[in-house]
Amino acid sequence: MQYYAAPMEGLTDRVWRQVHQRWFGGADRYYAPFLSPPENRVPVKKKMAELAPEANPGAPVIPQLLGKDGSCAAWMIGVLRQIGYSEVNLNFGCPSGTVTAKGKGAGMLRDLDGLDRFLYAVFDEAGGPISVKTRIGVERPEEFGPILEVYNRYPLAELIIHPRVMRQLYRGEADRDAFAAALPACRAPVCYNGDITSPAGFAALGSRWPGLSGLMAGRGLIADPALLRRARGGAPASKEELRGYFAELYAGYAAAFGSPQAAISRMKAYWHEAISLFEGADRLAKQLKKLRDPWEYEVTVGQIFALPLHK
């Protein structure tokens, strides 16, 4: 069974992917945050630079597409294959209101005829290997039966199931009973995604469903960058590793964005998840939210690293 790093917009870009591999690793695959195929079919240089193979050495990266025009998505898959990517992932899972209002992401699940037409165009014009990441419905888990019937018509390389419905966003618990009920009817290899935050969680899911192709971690991996390593029996993150990891992320984003000030907001997003690794960091978490200047950031990070790690 393989372990995957989930695609998370604004968090799992090429800077993070490279830094994470150098310091912690453990991922068999890194799924890149979604790319929207341009309607004019002219690749966006900045977006393509994010996926340039030379900027993504190491563990395989799987690009993800978000769109509702199957022919345009097929064209984009062709572009990605020209630069060296074989498998491409299709996003039917993003629950963001700005995405679903346009009929994209999990919004595609509202119209199963449209979903079928989209997949038909993609497989007809681009062919496989193509995988899908999906929610189990819009309002109710019971919607997944008809959704799965659509997916089963196509030779998906993998079906990554996040067992929440669109309206939940990321609230509440992932519905593992709904996942279990649907699993026997899935024709494609299946990966589970949702609420995996500990090595024990990986072990329990692997024991419950040993036939899965993979397990995918998202926020749990940002909160504990050593999570996948620990799931494989490796050591927890040391303070020295975390110090190097965060310093390299900060330097990487300062270079990518053109200034340390521009990097701070991105670093706040990582610290928001990972600060719980440190004992007694609540006060500093509030301080971190308010700071703006590089000197403030550096002082606060120094104070965080003066705290002990949770055991």
Known binding residue 64? Answer is yes
Known binding residue 168? Answer is no
Spatial neighbors of 167 by CB under 8 A, at least 6 apart, are 95, 138, 139
In this structure, what are the phi and psi dihedrals at residue 62, rounded to the nearest 5 degrees? -110, 115
Nearest to 222 by CA among 156, 277, 158, 150: 277
Whether 94 is catalytic is: yes
**Residue 192 CB-half CA count within 13 A:** 26
Of the residues 72, 94, 186, 191, only one is catalytic, namely 94
Known binding residue 162? Answer is yes
Q: Is the CB of residue 68 less than 8 Å from the CB of residue 35?
A: no
Structure tokens at 73: 């998505």
Structure tokens at 288: 């971190």
Q: Label residues 80-100 b or e (16+ Cβ within 10 Å = b).
A: beeeebebbbbbbbbbeeebb
Known binding residue 219? Answer is yes
By annotation, the residues acting in catalysis are 94
Annotated binding site for FMN: 64, 133, 162, 218-219
Annotated binding site: 64, 133, 162, 218-219
